[in-house]
């Protein structure tokens, strides 16, 4: 009877396990296996090189680690600026303000736009010779003419400009999730706090923040995963890696695959990158659990 | 009862026979994969014409942009399900990998048949790009492995109207590098933009740098560098890197050039916002679509040295390969012979403003295309050199030039960095 029951249970989870294995586990193992070979992606012969590709990534490939640093920088800006903005806007829309549904729709437009379209549009807004130069014109109009320059072609500002455009595109997701989270907080808690004489700041600190921590963790994990993998926006904004200043891991993987025809190495880069993302997510999760 | 069973049996027998396949003589259909958005409509028309003539249906399937096409071809190669005819976007090394994997038919016997009837119609430089010579470094059996459909040269173009506004003779583009740099000062003073190109996508930087490397040190020394016999820190290479610094300092380069994609560069030049552009002959069709009234001329990159002739990249623009595993390969070859015939090539050229690969189809092309065609006399291409540079060295080389243009690194620093990577890659190759 017990065996029958166990078999029944396994039967129910079998489709999910099969799909997960076929589309996630097996490809992961396969990509890892390919990472152990020197392979051009076309030939039927592969040369086994063991962990050489991984050794090269960790100890020789400065471009790879520069790309990781660049992606981390964009992620840091997204985690702070983008998410704080999203949280503040969600707080504003959670209250009884006029036209809040209109704002909800407006804030959700950027995330649903194609990254290529966003990149081209912002390139047009920012660039001076092949664009409308709107940012520089505004700066000059406001008396900050000294700051006007080629934002995307200056190595000092290119990455930050990319990061800010990425934040503009991405804050709508955070906004939506934060807003959904805020709406799950029972209003009675705020009413009780008000009756007890708590100020708005105290209610925010003692009710909103603690109850929103799981949502914040979720948004932070999604932000890290989404931002670390950014690349389409970079290609459409600056054409590529711009002497390494806007290089990111996915562009490096693509360069290994297409530019250098090193599929094995690209697979090793993919695995390394994937493991870094898993590690970051795990740390974030553990950290939030501890804090909670 | 017996009669009824017999009747039923006959009925079943005829039903089964009726369901069986009919034996008829059907001509095969040929599948062609390509990435050429601007030529697709013309290809479709030619395919219809061929079906009418030979009774063979040709399906041209467009996969764009070129990046997506490139990935599709690689995935199809890995799955051994390439179409009958396809093109490869990549370096000679990739081409060689496809051949080694048995994906590409050696078409040398077809080219040589009937006293080289097919081979003789092409520009030799167009064919050379698709050929592997004896003793090539890729280990490929000598032969021709692809059919050039059109040719291209990558040169500079200049805007005649803006030239006049700068007080320059619109029929006399600069011939020397010093003349070119001198125009930079005039461009700066007039508040115009100088040279535009897709240097954000880097390979075009590589192209111009190699043009000047041939001009300054000659082909033999360039090839010796690739073979590892000359270092990138050689004074001649420093001179090549320094040219980019000189161009930047003179003001002859447009602002933001290092992050410019070629489509933006084409728009700027077509909209008369830039004096010069560095682009391939395909630009004629692009500019015509963007600004039909644009007055411009093609010119060779101005010479930086009188020691060696300037070289430009040119040869086959796009080529088609025949799938060696295709059961329709004979029909595919026949179709490609027809497609590269004089009339079809002339039609393709006129409809798409590209240079024909068939040298007998060059009549009746616009003057600007003829200027690009004359550049074939100076054309070379990495695919005909027989040796190829390590991809990581090319990457460091191109990135280094970007760094020089933005004033981040000196030519000497870049040369040292490129050489360091070259030595590392050579050591790896020796260790294998």
Tell me what the mean pLDDT of segment B301-306 comes to.
96
Which of A42, A60, A123 has its CB closest to that of B77?
A42
**Cβ separation A238–B399 shorter than 8 A:** no
Specify whether the CB–CB gap between B259 and A161 falls below 8 A: no
Q: Which of B376, B403, B419 is the last residue of a domain?
A: B376
Given a cut of 60, whether residue B187 has pLDDT beyond it is yes
Which of A42, A130, A150 has its CB closest to that of B98?
A42
- Pair of tokens at residue B376: 């074939």
For chain A, the 3-state helix, strand and coil shares in percent, each to the nearest 5, are 75, 0, 20
CA distances to B215, B353, B395 from B367, in Å: 26, 11, 36
> What domain count does chain B have?
2
pLDDT of residue A285: 78
- Pair of tokens at residue B408: 């981040």
B72 lies within 8 A of chain A by CB:
no
B277 lies within 8 A of chain A by CB:
no
pLDDT tens for residues A206-252? 999 999 998 999 999 999 999 999 999 999 898 889 989 999 999 99
Specify whether the CB–CB gap between B377 and A124 falls below 8 A: no
Q: Are residues B418 and B269 in the same domain?
A: yes
B132, part of any domain: yes
Q: How far apart are the first and last CA of chain B?
A: 82
User: Which of A76-90, A272-286, B139-153 has the least mean pLDDT?
Assistant: A272-286
B24, part of any domain: no
Distance (Å, whole) CA A246 – CA A240: 7
Q: Are residues B73 and B187 in the same domain?
A: no
B70 lies within 8 A of chain A by CB:
yes
Distance (Å, whole) CA A147 – CA A223: 30
B257, part of any domain: yes
Question: Has the ipTM of the complex gone over 0.85?
Answer: no
Beta-carbon neighbour count of residue B365 at 10 Å?
19
Distance (Å, whole) CA B150 – CA B281: 10
Q: Are residues B361 and B231 in the same domain?
A: no
What phi and psi, each to the nearest 5 degrees, are found at residue B153? -130, 145
pLDDT tens for residues A104-118? 888 889 999 999 999
CB-neighbour burial class of residue A61 (10 A; exposed 0-12, middle 13-18, buried 19+):
buried
Q: Are residues B368 and B403 in the same domain?
A: no
Residue from B316, B349, B30, B29 nearest B147 by CA? B316
B20, part of any domain: no
Measured between beta carbons, the chain A residues lying within 8 angstroms of B257 are 153
pLDDT tens for residues A166-204? 999 999 999 999 999 999 999 999 999 999 999 989 999
Q: Which of B333, B351, B376 is the last residue of a domain?
A: B376
pLDDT of residue B14: 57
pLDDT of residue B290: 93
% of chain B exceeding 90 in pLDDT: 72
- Pair of tokens at residue B230: 């000359």
B162, part of any domain: yes
The packing angle between helices B262-270 and B283-290, to 10°, is 50
Which of A240, A244, A261 has its CB closest to that of B93?
A261
B21, part of any domain: no
- Pair of tokens at residue A200: 């708005």
Specify whether the CB–CB gap between B144 and B106 falls below 8 A: yes
Question: Which segments of B329-381 are extended strands (E)?
Answer: 355-356, 379-380
Q: Are residues B302 and B171 in the same domain?
A: yes
B106 lies within 8 A of chain A by CB:
no
Q: Which of B354, B376, B398 is the last residue of a domain?
A: B376
What phi and psi, each to the nearest 5 degrees, are found at residue B61? -115, 120
Q: Are residues B170 and B288 in the same domain?
A: yes
Given a cut of 90, whether residue B316 has pLDDT beyond it is no
Measured between beta carbons, the chain A residues lying within 8 angstroms of B399 are 241, 243-244
Specify whether the CB–CB gap between A108 and A172 falls below 8 A: yes
Q: Are residues B89 and B161 in the same domain?
A: no
Concatenate the DSSP letters of all residues of B67-118 into one string: HHHHHHHHHHHHTT---SEE---S-HHHHHHHHHTT-B---HHHHHHHHHTT
A43 lies within 8 A of chain B by CB:
yes
Tell me what the mean pLDDT of segment B166-170 comes to.
95
Q: Could you tell me the domains of chain A?
A: 52-291 (1.10.3720.10)
Given a cut of 70, whether residue B236 has pLDDT beyond it is yes
Measured between beta carbons, the chain B residues lying within 8 angstroms of A241 are 202, 399
**Averaged pLDDT score across all residues of chain B:** 91
- Pair of tokens at residue A117: 């379209």
B96, part of any domain: yes
**Cβ separation B255–A155 shorter than 8 A:** no
Q: Are residues B192 and B296 in the same domain?
A: yes
A250 lies within 8 A of chain B by CB:
no
Closest approach of chain A CAs to the CA of B163, in angstroms? 19
Which of A123, A152, A258 has its CB closest to that of B70?
A258
Q: Are residues B324 and B273 in the same domain?
A: no
Matching residue, tokens 């000189």: B246
Search chain B and give the residue with CA nearest A126: B256
Distance (Å, whole) CA A52 – CA A35: 9
Most confident of A16-20, A256-260, B381-385: A16-20
- What are all long-range contacts of B323-327, with beta carbons under 8 Å and residues at least 24 apart? B323/B82, B323/B83, B323/B84, B323/B85, B323/B86, B323/B103, B323/B104, B323/B105, B324/B102, B324/B103, B324/B104, B324/B105, B324/B106, B325/B80, B325/B82, B325/B102, B325/B103, B326/B82, B326/B83, B326/B84, B326/B105, B327/B28
Residue A100: pLDDT band with limits 50, 70, 90: confident
Given a cut of 80, whether residue B26 has pLDDT beyond it is no
**Averaged pLDDT score across all residues of chain A:** 90
Q: Report the phi/psi class of residue A53: left, alpha or beta, with left for phi > 0 and alpha for psi in -120 to 50.
A: alpha
pLDDT tens for residues B245-279? 999 999 999 988 998 888 889 999 999 999 999 99
Given a cut of 60, whether residue B24 has pLDDT beyond it is no
Q: Are residues B280 and B168 in the same domain?
A: yes
CATH number at residue B352: 3.40.190.10
% of chain A exceeding 90 in pLDDT: 62
B326 lies within 8 A of chain A by CB:
no
Given a cut of 80, whether residue B19 has pLDDT beyond it is no
pLDDT of residue A261: 83
Distance (Å, whole) CA B339 – CA B147: 10
Measured between beta carbons, the chain A residues lying within 8 angstroms of B259 are 152-153, 158, 237-239, 242
Residue B2: pLDDT band with limits 50, 70, 90: low
Q: Which helix (H) or strand (E) holds B312?
A: strand B312-322
Rounded to an integer, what is the distance from CA B35 to the centroid of its chain? Answer: 12
Specify whether the CB–CB gap between B238 and B412 falls below 8 A: yes
Q: Are residues B79 and B203 in the same domain?
A: no
Closest approach of chain B CAs to the CA of A212, in angstroms? 41
**Cβ separation B424–A60 shorter than 8 A:** yes
Given a cut of 60, whether residue A133 has pLDDT beyond it is yes
pTM: 0.84
Distance (Å, whole) CA A182 – CA A219: 13
- Looking at residue B22, what DSSP letter applies? P
Residue B162 structural domain: 153-313+387-431
CA distances to A61, A110, A141, A156 from A144, in Å: 41, 28, 7, 18
User: Which of A18-27, A65-74, B12-21 has the least mean pLDDT?
Assistant: B12-21
Q: Are residues B85 and B163 in the same domain?
A: no
**Cβ separation B97–A43 shorter than 8 A:** yes
Given a cut of 90, whether residue B179 has pLDDT beyond it is yes
Specify whether the CB–CB gap between B159 and B296 falls below 8 A: yes
Tell me what the mean pLDDT of segment A20-35 comes to.
92
Residue from A106, A86, A105 nearest A179 by CA? A86
Tell me what the mean pLDDT of segment B302-318 comes to.
92
Given a cut of 60, whether residue B22 has pLDDT beyond it is no
Matching residue, tokens 């040292």: B416
Residue ranges of alpha helices (H) inside B198-316 are: 203-227, 235-250, 262-270, 283-290
Q: Which helix (H) or strand (E) holds A260?
A: none
User: Which of B22-31, B43-52, B161-170 has the least mean pLDDT?
Assistant: B22-31
Distance (Å, whole) CA B122 – CA A205: 78
Measured between beta carbons, the chain A residues lying within 8 angstroms of B90 are 258, 261
Strand B312-322 to B379-380 pairing: parallel
- Positive or negative torsion for Cα A237, B208, B395, B82: positive
B17, part of any domain: no
The packing angle between helices B367-374 and B283-290, to 10°, is 160
SS (H, E, C) B362-376: CCCCCHHHHHHHHHH
Provide CB contacts within 8 A for B417, sequence distance 6+.
B396, B400, B409
pLDDT of residue B234: 97
Which of B198, B256, B424 has its CB closest to that of A150?
B256
Matching residue, tokens 């933001």: B256
Whether the link from the prior residue into B65 is cis, omega within 30° of 0, is yes
**Cβ separation A153–B256 shorter than 8 A:** yes
Backbone Cα Rg of chain B: 26
pLDDT of residue B263: 86
Measured between beta carbons, the chain A residues lying within 8 angstroms of B261 are 239
**Cβ separation B193–A129 shorter than 8 A:** yes
Given a cut of 90, whether residue A42 has pLDDT beyond it is no
Per-window interface: A 56-115 vs B, CB < 8 A:
60, 63
A27 lies within 8 A of chain B by CB:
no
What phi and psi, each to the nearest 5 degrees, are found at residue B198? -85, 55
Q: Report the phi/psi class of residue B60: left, alpha or beta, with left for phi > 0 and alpha for psi in -120 to 50.
A: beta
Most confident of A41-55, B27-41, B241-255: B241-255
Provide CB contacts within 8 A for B222, sequence distance 6+.
B210, B213, B214
Report the largest interatomic distance among the alpha carbons of chain A, rounded to a whole angstrom: 82
pLDDT tens for residues B340-380? 999 999 999 989 888 999 988 887 788 898 899 889 889 99
Given a cut of 90, whether residue B398 has pLDDT beyond it is yes
pLDDT of residue B15: 58
Closest approach of chain A CAs to the CA of B32, in angstroms? 19
């Amino acid at each position: 009877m017990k065996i029958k029951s166990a078999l029944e249970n396994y039967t129910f989870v079998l489709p999910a396990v099969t799909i997960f294995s076929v589309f996630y586990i097996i490809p992961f193992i396969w990509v890892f296996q390919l990472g152990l070979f020197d392979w051009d992606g076309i030939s039927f012969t592969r040369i086994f090189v063991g962990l050489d590709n991984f050794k090269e990534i960790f100890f020789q490939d400065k471009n790879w680690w520069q790309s990781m640093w660049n992606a981390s920088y964009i992620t840091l800006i997204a985690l702070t600026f983008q998410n704080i903005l999203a949280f503040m806007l969600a707080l504003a829309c959670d209250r009884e303000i006029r036209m809040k549904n209109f704002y909800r729709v407006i804030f959700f437009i950027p995330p649903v736009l194609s990254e290529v379209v966003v990149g081209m549009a912002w390139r047009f807004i920012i660039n001076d010779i092949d664009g409308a130069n709107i940012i520089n014109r505004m700066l000059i109009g406001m008396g900050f003419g000294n700051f006007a320059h080629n934002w995307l072609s200056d190595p000092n500002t290119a990455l930050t400009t990319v990061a800010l455009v990425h934040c503009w595109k991405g804050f709508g997701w955070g906004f939506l999730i934060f807003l959904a989270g805020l709406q799950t907080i029972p209003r009675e808690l705020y009413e009780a706090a008000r009756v007890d004489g708590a100020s708005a700041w105290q209610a925010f600190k003692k009710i909103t923040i603690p109850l929103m921590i799981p949502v914040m963790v979720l948004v932070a994990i999604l932000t890290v995963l989404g931002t670390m993998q950014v690349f389409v926006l970079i290609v459409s904004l600056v054409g590529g890696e711009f002497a390494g200043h806007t290089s990111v891991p996915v562009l490096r993987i693509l360069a290994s695959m297409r530019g250098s025809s090193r599929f094995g190495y690209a697979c090793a880069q993919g695995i390394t990158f994937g493991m870094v993302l898993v590690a970051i997510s795990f740390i974030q999760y553990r950290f939030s659990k501890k804090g909670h | 009862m017996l009669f009824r069973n017999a009747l039923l049996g006959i009925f079943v027998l005829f039903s089964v026979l009726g369901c069986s396949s009919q034996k008829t003589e059907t001509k095969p259909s040929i599948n062609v994969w390509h990435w050429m958005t601007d030529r697709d409509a013309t290809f479709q028309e030619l395919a219809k014409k061929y079906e009418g003539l030979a009774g063979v249906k040709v399906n041209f399937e467009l996969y764009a942009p070129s990046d997506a096409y490139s990935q599709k071809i690689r995935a199809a190669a890995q799955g051994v399900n390439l179409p009958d005819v396809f093109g490869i976007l990549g370096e000679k090394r990739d081409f060689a990998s496809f051949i080694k994997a048995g994906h590409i038919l050696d078409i040398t016997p077809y080219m040589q048949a009937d006293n080289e009837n097919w081979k003789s119609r092409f520009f030799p430089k167009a064919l050379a790009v698709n050929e592997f010579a004896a003793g090539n470094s890729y280990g490929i059996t000598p032969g021709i492995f692809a059919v050039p459909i059109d040719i291209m040269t990558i040169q500079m173009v200049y805007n005649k109207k803006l030239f006049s506004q700068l007080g320059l003779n619109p029929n006399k583009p600069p011939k020397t590098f010093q003349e070119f740099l001198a125009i930079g000062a005039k461009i700066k003073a007039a508040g115009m933009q100088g040279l535009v190109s897709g240097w954000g996508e880097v390979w075009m930087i590589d192209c111009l740098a190699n043009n000047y490397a041939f001009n300054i040190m000659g082909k033999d020394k360039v090839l010796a560098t690739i073979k590892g016999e000359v270092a990138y820190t050689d004074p001649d290479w420093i001179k090549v890197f320094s040219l980019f610094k000189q161009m930047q300092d003179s003001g002859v380069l447009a602002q933001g050039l290092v992050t410019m994609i070629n489509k933006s560069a084409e728009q700027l030049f077509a909209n008369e916002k830039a004096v010069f552009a560095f682009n391939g002959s395909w630009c004629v069709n692009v500019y015509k679509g963007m600004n039909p009234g644009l007055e411009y001329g093609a010119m060779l990159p101005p010479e930086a040295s009188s020691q060696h002739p300037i070289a430009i990249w040119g040869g086959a623009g796009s080529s088609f390969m025949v799938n060696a595993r295709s059961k329709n390969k004979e029909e595919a070859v026949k179709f490609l012979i027809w497609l590269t015939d004089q009339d079809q090539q002339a039609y393709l050229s006129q409809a798409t403003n590209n240079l024909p690969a068939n040298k007998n189809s060059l009549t009746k092309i616009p003057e600007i295309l003829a200027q690009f065609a004359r550049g074939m006399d100076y054309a070379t291409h990495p695919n005909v050199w027989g040796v190829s540079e390590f991809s990581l060295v090319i990457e460091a080389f191109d990135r280094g030039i970007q760094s020089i243009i933005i004033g981040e690194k000196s030519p000497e620093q870049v040369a040292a960095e490129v050489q360091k990577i070259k030595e590392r890659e050579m050591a790896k190759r020796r260790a294998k």
